[in-house]
Amino acid sequence: MDLFPEIWILCSLLCSVAGQAPVVSVDPRSATVRQGESVSFRCQASGTVQPVQLEWSRPNNQALPDNTKIGPDGSVLTVADARPGNHGQYRCVAVSSAGRSSANAVLNVKHAPKVRLTPAGPLRVRVGDSASVECRATGRPRPTLSWKRQGSTLNLVTSEINDVNTIKWTDMRPEESGVYICQAENNEGISEVKIQVSVDGPPGAPVASVTPAEMTVVEGQTVTMECKASGSPPPLISWSKLRAPLPWKHTVANGVLTITSVGRQDSGEYICNATNIQGYSEAYTHMEVETPPYATCLPDQVRLRPGDALMIQCLAHGSHPIEFTWSRMGRGSLSAGAETTKDGRLLIADVKMSDSGTYKCVATNRIGSSTAQAKVIVKA
């Protein structure tokens, strides 16, 4: 007994009497847009039985997104300002009294990656413990994922399974504390998320130290002093100057104090203070700013009669010790009756007409030297 051919013949007879279901097509059948762009799909149906009604829908009875519009006769579906959630299939269904048929369109929405970490951080781990962080990203095309440590360009060794890139640590050490970055990249862009990881030792009061412990620098230089502190939880570091405010041209970053273009008044004791709930620790450093001499003569011009006494003082600002040397312009050596002192004085007890001239004082210290002149006129 073979009933099926009979049924088929019967049906085909009835069907031709009743007319045929509409023939439906969608144009374009697939489209790719960037996030924010717009796109339209046109649905066309033909059929022997009119009227034909068109309807747009998404698979699984999902509602059409609210940024879609359907043209007046139902034939054109427009997705305006496309977003990642618009990605997927759209179905046009044509219905007439003779039946229904459908055709699908596919929309690809490209977009830059978005990254998410689990846990989101910050992450606190005890010394010797293990930890892991999972990095996931959305994005189209599918982004590639990598982990780095802040301040380094090297990719860390991680494992990637099912689009989840996981960084794992075992037996964590305090020096593994820091900021870690998961980066996702595709043709549409790059995006990254950071996580702060701190490895805590047993609770402990801070112990601070400063490098260098003392320094001598020259005026105008830029100076950096670094404070390091152990302790758990990690101590907060602050800088101050003994009995004075910090120079206004200073910055502090990661425990490093930087002073640009130091001046003589910046000399002194600098204090690093590391504080946590267990206590605090102070560390000192001494900075001496050296300056080159600046010399002047007092007086810088003198009129005398033969037989008078001459006294000129050479004065100098600048870092000590300062040495003074007197000479006579055009002659070099001083006359036999001249005398000089360590503190910069030129003395002639009994001047002669021949002592007239210009005298030069050179003040010298470790950094440099400076010259000043005095004119001596001896007239009867």
Interface residue list for ligand NAG (CB under 6 A): 240, 271, 273, 275, 280, 282
CB 238, min distance to ligand NAG, A: 7
When the beta carbons of 164 and 277 are compared against ligand NAG, the nearer one is 277
- Kindly tell me which of 284 and 294 has the beta carbon lying closer to ligand NAG: 284
Closest distance between ligand NAG and the C-beta of residue 256, in Å?
A: 18
Given a contact cutoff of 8 angstroms between Cβ atoms, the answer to whether 45 and 52 are in contact is yes
Neighbours of 376 (CB within 10 A): 20
Q: Identify which of residues 43 and 208 has a Cβ nearer to ligand NAG in the complex.
A: 208
Task: Select 67 or 278, whichever has its Cβ closest to ligand NAG.
Answer: 278
- Nearest distance from C-beta of residue 284 to ligand NAG, angstroms: 9
State the minimum distance, in angstroms, from the CB of residue 325 to ligand NAG. 45
How far is it, in rounded angstroms, from Cα 238 to Cα 36? Answer: 48
- In the numeric block, which tokens belong to residue 58? 């998404």
Closest approach of Cβ 242 to ligand NAG, in Å? 8
C-alpha to C-alpha distance for 280 and 93, rounded to whole angstroms = 75
State the residue for tokens 């010259």: 371
- Residue closest to 95 by CA, chosen among 40, 41, 57, 39: 57
In our burial notation (b when 16+ CB lie closer than 10 A, e otherwise), range 107-124 reads: bbbbbbbebebeeebebe
Name residues whose C-beta falls within 8 Å of residue 115's C-beta, 6 or more positions apart in sequence. Answer: 135, 136, 137, 145, 182, 183, 184, 191, 192, 193
Residue 207 or 271: which CB sits closer to ligand NAG?
271
| CB 263, min distance to ligand NAG, A | 23
- Residue nearest ligand NAG, Cβ-based: 273
Q: Which residue, 229 or 262, is less far from ligand NAG as judged by CB?
A: 229
Q: How many whole angstroms separate alpha carbon 48 and alpha carbon 62? A: 31
